[in-house]
Each structure stands twice: as structure tokens, then as C-alpha cells.
Structure 1
Amino acid sequence: MKLRYDGPAPGWKQGLPLGNGRLGAVVYGDGASETWCITELTYWSGKSEPAVTASQGKSDIDAMRELFYAGNYVEGEEMASRLLQAEKRNFGTNLSLCDVRLSFAGGDQGESMTRELNLEEAVYRAVSTSTRTSTSKNMAVDDSSLIRETIASHPNNVIASHVRREGITVGGVAFTLRLEGRTDRFDARASGDDMLVFESQATETMHSDGTCGVKSRGAVHVVAAGGSVTLQDAAIVVDGADEAWIYFAVETDYRREDEAWEQEAASRVKQAAEQGYSQVREAHIADFKQLYGRVEADFGDSGASALPIDERVRLLRGGGDDPQLFTLFFQYGRYLMIAGSRHDSPLPMHLQGIWNDGEANRMAWSCDYHLDVNSEMNYYGAEAANLAECHLPLMRYIERLAEAGRETARSYYGCEGWTAHVFSNAWGFTEPGWHYSWGLNVTGGLWIANQLREHYEYGRSESFLRESAYPVLKESALFFLDYMTIHPKYGWLVTGPSNSPENSFYVGGSRDRSYTLSMGPTMDQSLVRDLFAFCLEASEQLGVDEPLRERLRQAIELLPPLQIGKSGQLQEWLEDYGEAQPDHRHLSHLYALYPGGQITPHGTPELSEAARRTLTMRMRDEGLEDVEFTLALFAASFARLHDGDRAYDQLSYLIAELCFDNLLTYSKAGIAGAETNIFVADGNFGAAAAVTEMLLQSHAGEIHLLPALPFQWHTGRITGLRARGNAEVDIEWQGGELITATIHSHAQLETVVRYGEGIVPITLAAGESCRLERSAFAAEEQLR
């Protein structure tokens, strides 16, 4: 489980990511230099601002709805543009903080080099071999290797590095360290003989006015054995050392009201240095393994695993067989989850996780929270991949979002409860986006809040249900009960005006103009149905809000059914409109298939075929947008349809065609206004989630083993996957057939286990396990 490369990394897209849940670094370089591109999760431009709208609430919404009911989409959208669009103002973005630049004496760009990221230990290592003589007055080099090892420690909250040279016993290490700010307001200066301190502010002018943003203070401390460490022209210079250690830390004033944060980074690097690198490293690995080591996977090895990663990807692109590369990609997703989101992270991961190449921030894109799939996808696999603690920052963020969304619900719609739309930021932005065509996604907040339900269903913590999930989702339900209206034609309870992210449609036979707003898009109705059903069940379980239950029961009866269109597809809207963009990247109306559970092959076969038809129709068009999150959705959706080979094809294409050399996924230039290929983390996380769906599903009231096993993974094993109901599952298979599965229950569990057409009922107390072999399911199939 290593990302290994032969040769240097000339830039960010070849660099390898480290993170401790708050600090991130992408490390790249060659024999002569190394760069750490540093990011910090709370380093946001912008600020919190009150909601501003011209809407008069329900009266304006009712007038707008009458236009849509009458088929007057032109005036309906014009009215929405006047009343239901927020201005961007100081929305902000997460910014790159700075670059730590190391220049090594005696190194050369052309010398041989190997680089690797050990996923099992979260350790970066680079080895460059030189046969030249150094110009440093204190050292002579002839055939030696410079070794750099770097970690992002969560226990110590520092980035730490060890630099040494093999082949020389004395004085073999010499380098210069400088800091380069990524924002205009960045100032670095010397502190003592071995430390640089800096202060900065996250300001920019694309997403805010250039005056507001989080402030930071940080420090870099260097310790050497032998030789000298000096400060020269705001740079740390190490010369003639036997080995050296570097410690980096930063703190910000985000959500801080005291002044103690200003000195914390400098104190932290000194403490880490006093503790010593070996102890910092040991604590880091133990802390990381406690999470990473829960899941072990092996999908088989074709022999390609001995090759460097870039060569393996080229072979896969040419049709090669490398099942272990998929294992690596799955575990890489889990690695990035641990690196990017810890139980104590102050914010959840944004569009680029916690890393940032700077590309999105210089254009209309932004490193923010996209609530119409991208932020959710970052965490789709958290529970099943046995990283529930990594999900917690999102839980806290949703609670704050719900608080901010009360004012939006009141001012825009005149409704109780809370709502949020398509984008959000570090400050809890909940208004519609600044164009109705994509910004008026009224269920964006509900979509992200559904992760609370996921966290509860996997862990079954009643305290979490009572104190977090139910209160937040109940207030969302109150909003929709107040906001939704009866459709005069159908008698259904519908949302609207709202869009189906971020698609458009034609009305009637005319192709002169497409529209984005309508009443009751399928996406909205699927989310609301899950919301009402969850709140009804939770209310009964907790013994609260009995009057609300009857309102929910009545509302559920009035919700529109999922519908099949004239082409056999799952309808995206309440009406069977013509698709203006049949190759669109978003698949939001398939939420009921994935990640929802309303469509299942065994429970709703006709709807399942309609969902399959929708997927194949999207794939058929030559203009299909190549987007990382779409490929992950295709893979997970085919897995839900029990089509492992199709799911495999999507993952294969994602790895081979939509990953940089460092296996970070990207969105292609030209899509959604992107000016270049842009790293977007959701492809990595979505792919890991899709792998779990291929091997284990638990959304349909059962634990389903190997529901979508592809031919290429015919023999393998996986341990530690998590199922709903607070259970862990170990699976082993050979020749495409189950050998054995073991269910470990951490709570009272009564369910059925499915393999193929066979089902076996099980009842386990907390702490109990059961082992099931293939023969148990074969016997059940014969009985059926």
C-alpha cells in the first residue's frame, strides 16, 4: 500500500498529499529542491454577512408558483431572478497558506530519485542519489543519498520532517529554507537563530472584496545535529549538519475570541522539537494506524504492484489487469479521509479536501462546500469504510448550518425551520446561489443534513439521535411542511420553484429556450420522502412530538411517486420534460437509487430498470461530460443495480483518465467554466464509497454480501467494512464466489444476510459474531 514513483515531482500535480485533519501539505521536488504547499482548513477569505432578499416570503412564492402552474416559465424564472437570488458579496474561499521551499546543497535536478507515500503509516519519503561533489565548504560528497522523510502529525499538530544523508557519516546535510506566502498579506521574519515566524491574512478579490478573511500566525523551527543553523535574509540556513529536523505549525483566529492563538504555533513547534522527531513520528504512526488499520483489503495481484504508480496507470489505460491498483485506490481514499478530516477538525473537508492547488481560487470556482453532491460525496464512504470519527466535523458543521439557515427560511420563504441551498462556506452561508439556474436548489441543506441520518443508521447511538440528528432534521421537516404546496393538477405535495442540480429542460416541442426551474423536481421529492420517514420513525423511537407524527404521515401520503418517462428512464422532473442536456454531469434525480434506498433491484425492479436506463442513456451520448464525481456516481449506482462489471469499468476509467500522477482526481478543463484541469477530492472519496458498495450493501434492511463483485476481482478478501446497525463484516471470496463471511455486532442486531438469491436470518447480541459459509446460502436458495 504505497504510492511509489521513480523520478522527481516537478509540480503540485505530481506531489504527494499529507494531512492531519487541519494542516495539509502537498510535497513535491527533485534532488535539488523540495516544496511543501501548505494549506490550513480554516484559512478562509470572506466573512459572515446577514441574508438580504427582496422576497416578501410566502406571498411572492405563491405568485411565482402560479406562473409555473400556468406554464409561464419565462415570467416565473424572471421573478425568481429578481427575488430569489443572493449576491455573492464576501462569500470567500479556502486559500492556500504558503510554500515551504527547501534548496539542498550538493543536489542536482537530474540525479536519480525515488519517492513514495506509505499509506499504512502516512509517511512521505524521497531518496535522491548523487555522485557529485558539494560546493559546501563543510562537506564533500561522493556517491551518497539524500533522504527526506515528512509527516503531518495529528497528535502534535505539526508537519515534521527529517533530512539525512547516507554514504556520509559527518556533515552531509546542507540546505536553505524559505517561506513564500500564497496571499498578498504575508510577512515572515526571523525569531532567534533557528526559527522563522510569519503572520498573514486570507484575502483575495475573486470571491470577496480583498479586505476580509481569517488571520494566521505560524512558525518553522529547524534543529540540527552537528554543523550550523543560522538565519540569513529571512531564511534558515543549515550547513554541514549530520542530520536535521524541521517542524512547521500554524494557528488562525477562526472562531477564536481570545488572543492566545497568536503564540500557539511557535510554542507547538518548540514542544515538538523538545519531544524529538522519533517520538513525534512514533505517536503519529500509532494514531494514524488506529483508524487506517481497521480495514484490510486484497483484490488479487497480477504482478503489476511491483511497478511505479504512473507506469501501472498507463498499463491500466491500455487495458491491463491490475486488481491491486483498485485496492490501493480504495485505501488511498481512506487515507485521504483520515488525513483530511479528524474528530476534532474545526471544519469538514471542502471541494479539494484540505489541499489546494490554487487553480480554483483564481476563477469563478471556489474551494467551498457544494451542497448538491460534492460535499456529501466527500463523506459518502466514511461510515462503511469504518471511519465514523472522520465524519464528525461534518456533523458539527451541519448543526451550525441549521442555525444559520433559520434566517434564510424566514426571510426568503416566510417559513419556520431552516433551509440552505447549493453553496456554503466557513461562515454558514445558506442563501440561494447568485444565479437561479443553479443556485435555487432548495433541498441543498437537506441533502447534506442527510449525512446525520447516515451516521446514526451505522452507529445506532440513541444519544446522537436525540441530541443531534433528530433536532436538526426535525427543523428541516418543519420547513418543508410549511413551505411545500399542493399541486393543483395532481394533488401532490411538491416543492418549488426549484431546480434539479444543475440541469435544464425543454417544455413541449419547442427547443428555442431551455429552463431550469419547475415545481416538484424528483431530487427534492426523494430527499423529502426520506426526511419525513426518518423523522416519523425517530419521533416514535424517542417518544416525542406526537402531534408532528400525524402531520408527517399525512404529508408522506401526498408525496409524488417516482415516475418512469416515455423513454423508459427515471423522470428527472414532475413532468416528462425534454432533456436540454442529456449528457449532463449531474445525476441528482437518481438519489433514490444511490445514496438513498428507495430503489432496489429486489424491492422495486421496474424502477431499478428505469434507473439503469437513465444511466445508459447518459453514457450513450458522445458529449458526456468527463467529471470525477460523475464517474464515481456511475460506479456506485451500477453497484446498487448489482452490476459489478459496469461499476468496475467506471472506476477503471476514473483511475486511468481522470487522475493526476499523484492519483488525485480532477475535473476536466471546460466543464462548469473550469479553465484548466482542477483537482476535486470527491472523485477519490466517491470511488472509495463505490468500492464498499460493490462488496457490501446494507441499505435495504439486510446485509448483502458481494452484491456487485466484478470479474477482475475474482479472488480476494476484505475485513472491517461496516454495515448499518453497528456491525462489521469480513468477507473472503475465490473464483468469483463467496467462501466465508463473518459478522461482528457492536449492538443488538436482528437482520438477514443475503448472498445471491439466498438469505440467512441472524440475531446477535452486542459483542457477538457469526460466521457464514457459502453452503449456508446455497441451502437457503434450494429451500426457496
Structure 2
Amino acid sequence: MYQARTARVLQDKPPLKLWYRQPATQWLEALPVGNGHLGAMVHGGISEEVLQLNEDTLWSGEPYDTDNPDAVTHLPELRRLILEERDYVAAQELAHRMQGPYNESYQPLGYVRLKFEQRGEVQAYQRALDLNTALATVQYKAGDILFSREVFSSAADDLLVIRLTSDTPHALSLTAHLESLHPFTCAPAGSNKIRMTGRCPRHVDPDYLSTSDPVIYDHGEDGHGMRFETQLQAMVEGGRISADVDGALRVENAHAVTFFLSAATSYRGFASRPDLSAHVLEQQCTTRLAAGMSKGYEVLRAAHINDYQQLFQRVTLDLGTSDGQELPTDERLAAVQKGASDDALLALYFQYGRYLLIASSRPGTQSANLQGIWNDHVRPAWSSNYTININTQMNYWLAETCNLAECHSPLFDLLEEASVSGERTAQVYYGCRGWVAHHNMDLWRNTAPVGNGSGGPQWANWNMGGAWLCQHLWEHYAFSGDRSFLSQRAYPIMKKAAQFLLDFLVEDKQGHLTTCPSTAPENLFITESGELSGVSAGSTMDIAITHELFTHCIAASQVLDIDQGFAHELAQALARLPQPGIGSYGQLQEWNEDFAEHEPGHRHMSHLYGLYPGEQITLEKTPELLQAARKSLERRLEHGGGGTGWSQAWVSALWARLGEGDLAHEHMIQLLKYSTAANLFDLIDLQSPLIFQIDGNFGATAAIAEMLVQSHADELAILPALPHTWNEGYVRGLRARGGLEVDVEWNNGHATSVVLRAEQDGRFLLRLHQGQQPVSIKDQSGQQVPWTSERGRVVLVMQHGKNYALSFR
């Protein structure tokens, strides 16, 4: 795994804090902390502090049979309807018969409730989340007494830590409780510790299904459903503590109190029943708590900050100051929503996305799901699952560019596990080799099409999720140059995904190899008869993903000097893939035919995959397709596209790839205006009920990075989509393909300094903003480095371990 050096300069202006003058009154105002495994939403109440808890493996259900043995029997008829009859409506109906069960749901763990006994008028209240330290804080005065709280979730010690202090002796008295939305019991475990145990449902229906019994618990001692345990232990300074028989901790007249919380579940792997015993869970929690308490608060805090900053401080972004930057975060957001300019808030939002990935995705944890690791509902929106037709992928778009490669590894773990499940799905549903995954996945790595025969095939039956996810494997190699990773982890998974596609492709009437059945995720077209369907052959996104996967597998074969025969087979198939079509409006077609769109302003931009996050469409290599992609994007937006937060993030990244910095910036502002909660969580929109999806946070951070540095088109582009409003600023620590770290400073739209740190030997083409050319290039010892020009690019040969500083007039 790539290890990047820590950035040398810390950002201190404007301060990297979310802060507020009042407690949270709802979940979407609370502040998130997390270590990838254990998350909490800190509300900051005065009379009662509430921390809503999550544990990353706590899901409903257990491994289950996703097979629909009849599915493959319908495939020949489905293909006949599409390729021979062009009866897309009948194909849409038949596709329902190739669906399996719905997946399970990510679950909330519970709550810590701290109820305080204090008097006096409350003044000078402030709660904050410091992105530089990953500490959530609360501070206020009650009467003449100053009360302070500090909360963090430590990846170093796998504990949630809550520190309460006062500036007056014996001023802290409170009661601590543990609760859950699931059936639970809470009991004392000594004078300063309580234990909560419980069990999750054996099954939860998705929130969008209306059923008579959507949440099913199994209450037997040996019943189904995941067990969980949470332990809360306190260390009191200057007071007394006791544990009640009803499972509450009571603190009286203390100077300070530190709570340590650990959690465990009976999960023992995606293919195994979650049946670890209650005793094992108890021991896991007890062991973690004992280790943490033996170190003490200050040691735990220092270890947490050090661990976190090793990741976070690699990247610094300064977009200048803003008039409102001294205001609380919710007031700044409200001002932007009324039309104020605040690019410093965008810089904060960028770093918040990096913070959230660090907090929700660490080596050894589960991948960040639709809500990262933060969820307070038993039936969360879209099951808070892994939606792999855009959302899971978008979660990780920032991992490589924004210098958090280690945080990418949970996604690779998911891919390894899904490729196991996906082999059976490929055989049962399609009679193919290799592995496949459809649009939804859960902890149990269900790779079959969901829907139970009633889900819309335009989303349920899309089968390119695994192939798309393979892009992340190649990208990690492209950024790091890690041949061992490519050989041992990436290529075996990529190869099996390519094997599935080789078997799945069929010949159409034009002699092309195409995917059939095929959908463009979640969108419908209008047939010649005026009816709706989503099922056809060879959607533009399908072909783009197939082209990309085959190309990457061929490249991997060359790098590793293996599988030449397989690479040749892929190259032959690659040559027979259809080219993207350009439609009657000059737009890039979404389907293989120039169908009329049922929803021209659809939220998905699937047919633009080759522009971003792919790299098949570029100005130099495919100028006609680039213009067609631009026209498609314009048409989407003219008809109301980009209506969700994550969709706005994708639009910004697409505009960045098109070199349109002002338009990319405009849609970043739209995201803040219409899809952002008070705690800066991304929302579907501002309509009630408010629905949180974390992909927009991550996608927006990736889009901002794409505006500043790009490296996908066999060149390193510096400031390729710089908005005019970002007149001056700097970024340090972004990463580029080929093993580069990049620092850029700019003023009046031009680079004033570029520093490149090479992790690999290589020859690089540098494209600078508006055709700039450096006056000199020096290495870290101050020696001049020779360079040449090629097509207006700087050609620079770099060596591993060296730094290169470009100077400009």
C-alpha cells in the first residue's frame, strides 16, 4: 500500500473547524466522529448530551441464498426480444424474472445519554469539530462555571472517548445511560462500568418497500440476527461514581470524568453466520477498555491525533479568505444559500470530505456505505447499503487524488469478497465464467440482481457494478506503481471480471460484440410505440466500462509479463466493441439507439462515464466525442439534471474534465445551496424528509481536486479548470498518476510555483494553465534540471525520491 509523506505546511487560515452557537436539535445538525469501525454523532446538548452510535459490521440478517435458478433459462428469450424483435417493453417485463431477493440493511448500534445536574444561565455556548485534530468539542458557561467536553473516536486504540471537565472543583454531576433501538439489556459490570447487549433483526425490508412486517426479530437465545455488545466505563477525578442495578452510571461532584466506550458484534465474515458467543463479545470489549484505560486520557488523545494527522495533514488547500469566515458554519451556509460568496467554505467542505473518509474507511474496516458509518434508522434510506451503480464508487473518487490511499483498502477488501459471491451469480444467472455484481450489495456481499420480481430492471438488473469497481483497483496501481498490489490483489479480480464480460458479450446484427441485456442505470427510454423501457443492448456506459476494463487488463498483462494469450483475446474483443453513438441533438447517446429519454434531466450521468471518472473521452484523442459529451451534459442540466447532491458533485467533476472551471464552481455552489445540511452532510435535496447520502461529500472533494490537478490523459495538467473566483490560493499534497505529489500556488489565474515530488522514475508531460512555461526547473539541491517542450507541454524526466520546483515569471 502506498505510503505518502505528510505535508509539511499546516493550514491555519481560515481555521478548519465546523462550529455552532447552539446544540444540535436533530441528527443532521450533530457532528460526526469515527475511526472506520466505531462512529458517533455528537449533539452537544446542555442538560443532556446524546451520542448516537454505529459499528461498521452491524447489519441485519446473515448470509442468505440469492440464487434464482430460473434466471438463466430466461436469458435466451430476453436476448431474442432485444436483438431480433426489438421488443423492449416485453424485455423489460421479462427481466423481472431474473431478479433475486432484496439485500439487508445497515443498523444503528445505540445511544450514550449523559444527563447533567447543573444550574445557572447558559452563556458563551460553542460546539465544534476540529478537522485538524478530529476532536468534537462543546464549551459553555452555566452561571460562573465553565464546562467543557471533548469527544474522539480513536483508530489507534479502537475506542470512543468522552472527556468532561469543569473549571470549578466538584461541579460535575451526571447520569450516563446506554440505549438501543433494538431489543437490549443494560446492566452494571462493576462500580464504574455498564454493559449493553442486544440483537439486530434477522431481516429488514428496504425502506422503499411497503410490507406488513418489514422488521423481523428472532428473540430465541440461539436465534438469527447479529448480536452486539457495548461497554461504557468511566474514570472520575475528584468525585464519586456508582453503577445502578438498572444499568446507569452516576457521577457526583467530580472535577472531571472520562468515559471510554467499546463495541463489538458477532460478525465473523461475509460468508459465515454471525454467531460469535456473547462471551466472546464481552471479552473483546473488556480487553479494549482495559488497554485504553491503562494508558489514560492524555496518551489516548495524543495517539489519536498523531494517527489521524498522518493522513489528514498530507493535503492543504487555501482558496483565500471570505468575509463571513468568522461566522458559525450554519450561518455561513445560510449566507451562501442566500447568494453570498464564500470560497473559504468550499475549502472547508473539501477538507471535510477528506475527514469523513478517514473517519469512515480505514484498513481492516468495512467500506464506507451510503452514509459512511453514520446511521440512526433501523430502516435507513436505501438500506444504507452499497449502491454500486455510482454511489459506492463516488465514495472513493477522492482516495487517490486527495492522498488517502490507505483509506481505499476497505473497498479492495469488499471487491475480493464480492468476487467470491459474484462467481456463483455469474454462473447461476448468466452461465458465465468470472464474477459479476449488480447494482446493490450489503455486508453479506449479495451480488445478484435484487427486486424479487418487482424491482425496476433499469436499476435492479444492471450488471456492471463489479466491472466498474475494478477501475478502483487499476487506479490504485496507476497512482502508486505498486506492482505487488497489481499482481497479488488487483489483477486476479480484474481478470475474473473481464472473463465474465467475454462470456456475456454477444454479437449484434452489425457484427459488434455488445452487452445484452443492458440498462443505463435507473433511466428509461421511450420506444417507437411510445411506451417505456429501460432494457436494451449495449448502453453507452456498459461499453465504456467494458472498454476500460479490457484495456486495463491488457496493460496489467504487459506490466506483469503474464497472460499474453488472455490479453490477445481481450484485444480481439476490444476491437469489436461498438463506438459511442452521437444522437440527433449532437449529444452522446445514452443507449445504443438514439432513443428519446423519458427523463432528459435524469440525476445519473451514466453515458458520460468515459469523460469522468473514466478517461476514454479526451480533447486530443476524441474531440468529437468530447463535444458530444458536453452537449449531453448541457441537455441534462437544461432539463433539471443534477438535482441531488451527489449528482451535482458528478456534474462539477465533468465540467472540470471539460476544462470549465467556472461551471464546475457554479455547481459546487449549487450543491451547498440545495443539498447540504447544517452539519455539512450531503443531502439528496432540501425537501422533507431530509435524506443524507455521504457520496456527495466525497464526490465534491474529488471534483475540487480535479479542478486543480488532472493526470488522466497521459499528461499532468496543472490548474486545468481554475474558476475565476479562485484568484489566488495554493494546494499542497494532491497526488497524480505516475507516483507524483503535487503542490501548486497561483495568483491572477496563473501558477506562481509548482513543486513535484516523484515516487517513481518516469517521463512526464506537464500542461500548465493557459500555456504557461516555466523559466527554470530545479531539484531539491538547487541544481537546474533540463526539460524540453512537446505540443506546448513541458517534458520532464523525473527520478524516484527527488523533488522538482518549477519557477515562473
* Counterpart selection for 1:464 from 453, 471, 485: 485
1:707 aligns with 2:707: no
**CA distance in structure 2 between the partners assigned to 1:50 and 1:762 by the alignment:** 55
Q: State the SS of the aligned residue for 2:247.
A: coil
2:45 maps to a residue whose letter is D
**Pairing 1:387-466 to 2, within 5 Å after superposition:** 387-434=404-451, 435=455, 436-466=457-487
2:193 is matched with: 195
* Counterpart selection for 2:707 from 683, 694, 697: 694
1:571 maps to a residue whose letter is Q
Equivalent residues of 1:7, 1:112 under 8 A apart? no
1:66 is matched with: 80
**CA distance in structure 2 between the partners assigned to 1:603 and 1:452 by the alignment:** 24
1:62 maps to a residue whose letter is P
**CA distance in structure 1 between the partners assigned to 2:257 and 2:658 by the alignment:** 54
Q: 1:107 to 1:2 in 2, by over 3 A?
A: farther
Q: 1:121 to 1:566 in 2, by over 3 A?
A: same
* Counterpart selection for 2:647 from 630, 639, 648: 630
Deviations 1:340-366 (A, max 9, x none): 111221x101000011132xx436621
Equivalent residues of 2:34, 2:153 under 8 A apart? yes
Give the Å deviation of 1:491: 1.5
2:540 is matched with: 522
Q: Name stretches of at least 5 consecutive residues in structure 1 with no aligned partner.
A: 132-142, 776-784
2:774 is matched with: none
1:678 aligns with 2:691: yes
**CA distance in structure 2 between the partners assigned to 1:364 and 1:14 by the alignment:** 18
Equivalent residues of 1:181, 1:187 under 8 A apart? no
1:182 is matched with: 181
Q: State the SS of the aligned residue for 1:619.
A: helix
Comparing 639-648 and 105-114, the one that deviates more: 105-114
Q: State the SS of the aligned residue for 2:400.
A: coil
Deviations 1:454-478 (A, max 9, x none): 1111111001111111110101111
1:210 is matched with: 217
1:479 aligns with 2:500: yes
Q: State the SS of the aligned residue for 1:48.
A: coil
Equivalent residues of 1:31, 1:108 under 8 A apart? no
**Pairing 1:345-356 to 2, within 5 Å after superposition:** 345=365, 347-356=366-375
1:355 maps to a residue whose letter is W
Equivalent residues of 1:702, 1:751 under 8 A apart? yes
1:659 maps to a residue whose letter is T
Give the Å deviation of 1:81: 1.4
1:271 aligns with 2:291: yes
2:755 is matched with: 742
Q: State the SS of the aligned residue for 1:303.
A: coil
Give the Å deviation of 1:38: 0.3
2:36 maps to a residue whose letter is G
**CA distance in structure 2 between the partners assigned to 1:75 and 1:732 by the alignment:** 58
2:628 is matched with: 610
Give the Å deviation of 1:62: 2.5
1:741 maps to a residue whose letter is V
1:771 aligns with 2:784: no
Equivalent residues of 2:642, 2:651 under 8 A apart? no
Q: State the SS of the aligned residue for 1:126.
A: strand
Equivalent residues of 1:32, 1:107 under 8 A apart? no
1:134 is matched with: none
* Counterpart selection for 2:793 from 743, 759, 766: 759
* Counterpart selection for 1:575 from 579, 584, 593: 593
1:552 aligns with 2:570: yes
Q: State the SS of the aligned residue for 1:666.
A: coil
**CA distance in structure 2 between the partners assigned to 1:54 and 1:627 by the alignment:** 37
Give the Å deviation of 1:60: 3.5
* Counterpart selection for 1:657 from 665, 674, 681: 674
1:642 is matched with: 659
**CA distance in structure 1 between the partners assigned to 2:76 and 2:147 by the alignment:** 70
Give the Å deviation of 1:750: 1.4
1:104 aligns with 2:116: yes
1:220 aligns with 2:232: yes
Give the Å deviation of 1:735: 1.1
1:463 maps to a residue whose letter is S
2:384 maps to a residue whose letter is C
Q: 1:209 to 1:448 in 2, by over 3 A?
A: farther
1:375 is matched with: 392
Equivalent residues of 1:717, 1:732 under 8 A apart? yes
2:755 maps to a residue whose letter is T
Q: TM-score if structure 1 supplies the norm length? A: 0.93
Deviations 1:655-705 (A, max 9, x none): 2221111000111377xxxx7211100010000000110000001111100
1:101 maps to a residue whose letter is R
Give the Å deviation of 1:553: 1.2
1:30 aligns with 2:45: yes
**Once superposed, what is the RMSD of the aligned Cα atoms?**
1.6
* Counterpart selection for 1:116 from 128, 149, 152: 128
1:118 maps to a residue whose letter is D
Equivalent residues of 1:112, 1:130 under 8 A apart? no
2:101 is matched with: 87
2:158 maps to a residue whose letter is N
Give the Å deviation of 1:272: 1.4
Q: State the SS of the aligned residue for 1:282.
A: helix
Taking only the aligned residue pairs, the percentage that are identical comes to 36
Number of equivalenced pairs: 746
Q: Which runs of 4+ in 1 moved over 4 A?
A: 107-112, 256-259
**CA distance in structure 2 between the partners assigned to 1:33 and 1:247 by the alignment:** 18
2:13 is matched with: none
**CA distance in structure 2 between the partners assigned to 1:465 and 1:286 by the alignment:** 30
* Counterpart selection for 1:336 from 356, 363, 381: 356
**CA distance in structure 2 between the partners assigned to 1:601 and 1:115 by the alignment:** 48
Comparing 252-261 and 421-430, the one that deviates more: 252-261
**CA distance in structure 1 between the partners assigned to 2:449 and 2:624 by the alignment:** 35
Equivalent residues of 2:121, 2:142 under 8 A apart? no
Q: 1:45 to 1:258 in 2, by over 3 A?
A: closer
Q: Name stretches of at least 5 consecutive residues in structure 2 with no aligned partner.
A: 1-15, 207-214, 219-223, 270-274, 772-791
**CA distance in structure 2 between the partners assigned to 1:258 and 1:373 by the alignment:** 34
Deviations 1:60-109 (A, max 9, x none): 42221111121112322222212x11122xx2111110010111111579
Q: State the SS of the aligned residue for 2:258.
A: strand
Equivalent residues of 1:668, 1:676 under 8 A apart? no
2:217 maps to a residue whose letter is G
Equivalent residues of 2:59, 2:105 under 8 A apart? yes
* Counterpart selection for 1:46 from 48, 61, 65: 61
Equivalent residues of 1:55, 1:413 under 8 A apart? no
Comparing 598-607 and 288-297, the one that deviates more: 598-607
Equivalent residues of 2:260, 2:293 under 8 A apart? yes
2:140 maps to a residue whose letter is S
Equivalent residues of 1:35, 1:102 under 8 A apart? yes
Give the Å deviation of 1:500: 0.5
Give the Å deviation of 1:153: 0.7
* Counterpart selection for 1:318 from 308, 313, 338: 338
Q: 1:735 to 1:669 in 2, by over 3 A?
A: closer
